Amino acid sequence: MSEEVRTSPLSGNKNWQRMWRGQAISTFGDMVFMVTVMLWIATRIADGKSWAPIAVSGALIATAVPALLVGPVAGVWVDRWDGRRTMLVADAARMLLIAALLTIPLLQHTISTAAQLAILYAVLAAASSFAEFFHPSRLAVIGAIVPSADQTTASGRLQAVTALAQVLGPPLAAPLLLTFGVQWALIANALSFGISWLYVRAIGIPAAGQPVIRARSSFGTEFRAGIRFFAGSRVLVGLAVGAVILMAGVGAINAVVVFFVVDNLHASAGWVGVISAAIGTGAVLGTITTGVVARVVGLGRLPWLGLLGGGIAIIALSRCTAVGPAIAASFVLGIAVGIINATDQPITLRVTPPDMIGRVSAVFSPLVQLANLVGMGLAGLLAGGAWKSLHRAVAGTTFGPYDTILAVAGVLFILAALVTIRPMRHLPEAAPHQAMAEDGAEPVLATGEYGAQ
C-alpha cells in the first residue's frame, strides 16, 4: 500500500480521496450549521428580546474559547495517540453532541430560554473542544497518506472546500431553517459527521506513516518540549508571527466591513454578502491553483507573496467608493487569502516531525485565534471611539474611520509579508523524515526530550 501512495498522484490516491470527500461533506455541514445556529437564536430562541445580539455572540464565543483553553493542552495527547483513531472518536463525539441538540426544539415549551441557551452553548463548546483534537490529527494523517510533493495541492483542495462552503453555506441556512425547521439542520450536520467517520474509517495508513512508538515523558515535559521545538524553528516562528499580524488585520476587517459598505460604498448592508461571496470565490481560485504556483515560484515564497498581494488588495478596497470596484478588489483579496491558507499546512508538515505535529498546532492555533479577537476588539474600539469622527484630507485623499481601519489592516498584511520573507528562506526542499520514508527506508527518528527530530 505504501508504494501505491508514494507514487500515485492525488487523483489515484484512494486514501486521500476518502479523506477529501469526508471533509468536504463535514465542512459544508459545519458552515450551514453555524449560520443556522445564529439564525435559530435570533429568530426563535431569543426572538424579540433586546439581548438577542448578545445571545448570538455567546454562540460564537462558545466555539472560540476551546481554541484558547483546550487547544494548548490537546497537542500533547494528539502526539501520543493514533491520529486516525483520534479523528474517529472526535467525529463520533461531535455527531452525538449535535444530535443531542434535538432535545431543545422538542422541549422548548417545557424549559426556559436560559436553559435552551445553556444547553446550546455547552454543546457548541464541547464540539469545538473535540475539533481541537480532530484538526491536528487530520494534519498528521495527511502527512502519512499524501507524499510531500503533493501536500501543497492537497492542502489547497481542502481549503477550496472551506472557501466554497463559505460561499454556498450561508444562503442555504436560512431556507433550510424556515422551510424545514431547525431539526433538519441539526440532523444534516450530525449526519455529516457520521459520513466523515465512515470515510476516515476506510483510510489505510501506509507502513511508513504508522505512528512511531516512543517512550513517554510527563505531560509537562512533553508540553515544554513542544514549545521549545516551535521556538527553535525559524520557519515555524516566522509563520506564526506573520499569521498573528495577518489575523489581527483580518479581525479588524471583520469588525468594520458592514459599516464600510454602508458609509464608504454608499450601499445597503445586504451587499456585505456579495463582498463576502467575492472573497470566497477568489479564495476557491487561489486554493486550487496553489499547488501549480508552488512548483513555479517555490513553496517558501508563497506565504509572503500572498500576504503582499492581499495587503495591496485591502488598501485598494479601502479607497473604493462604489460597489463594483470593491467587488473586484475583494476577489483579488480572496485569491491572496486562498494562497495563504493553502500554504500553512504543507509548510508545517515540511519542518515538523510526525510526533510533534499536535504540539506545534497547539502553539499555533491559540495565537491565531487570540490575534483575531484582539484585532476585532481594537477595530471596534477605534471605530466607535477615538476614530469615530475621523475625517482628514491628506494630499487630496480623504480618510474616514472605516476606510482608515481597512488601510491599516492592509499595512498589517504587508508587514506580515516582510517579517515572513527571511524565515521562509530556511524552508527545506523536503522534510527529511518524509523523504527517507518515500525512498523506501525506515524513517530516522531520534529520541530524547524533543521527541522526533
Cα distance between residue 183 and residue 105, in whole Å: 7
Query: What's the whole-number average pLDDT of the chain?
Result: 84
Alpha-helical runs (H) found in 206-356: 219-231, 234-263, 271-297, 302-318, 323-351
Would you say residue 97 has pLDDT above 70?
A: yes
| Mean pLDDT for the stretch of residues 120-139 | 95
Q: What is the dihedral of CA 325, 327, 329, 330, to 10 degrees?
A: 160
Contact of 296 with 442, CB cutoff 8 Å: no
- The three three-digit cell numbers of residue 43, written as one number: 429568530
pLDDT digits (tens, 9 = 90+) for 188-228: 999 999 999 999 999 998 765 555 555 567 888 898 999 99
- For residue 163, is pLDDT > 90? no
- Cell for 331? 476577489
How far apart CA 187 and CA 33 sit, in angstroms, is 10
* Residue 436 confidence (pLDDT): 39
Cα angle value 274/280/286 (rounded, 5°) = 140
- What pLDDT is attached to residue 208? 57
pLDDT grade, residue 318 (50/70/90)? very high
Structural domains for the chain: 1-202 (1.20.1250.20), 219-427 (1.20.1250.20)
Q: What percent of the chain has pLDDT over 90?
A: 44
Query: What pLDDT is recorded for position 39?
Result: 85
448: left (phi over 0), alpha (psi -120 to 50) or beta: left
pTM score:
0.81
* Mean predicted confidence (pLDDT) in 123-128: 96
Range 144-158 burial, b when 16+ CB lie within 10 A, else e? bbbbbbbbbbbbbbb
Length of the chain: 453
3-state secondary structure 348-406: HHHHCCHHHHHHHHHHHHHHHHHHHHHHHHHHHHHHHCCCCCCCEEECCEEECHHHHHH
Which pLDDT score, from 0 to 100, does residue 50 have? Answer: 83
Backbone dihedral angles phi then psi of residue 441, each to the nearest 5 degrees: -90, 165
Q: Indicate whether 2 pLDDT > 80.
A: no
CA distances from 286 to 19, 243, 393 (A): 21, 18, 36
pLDDT, residue 443, reads 35
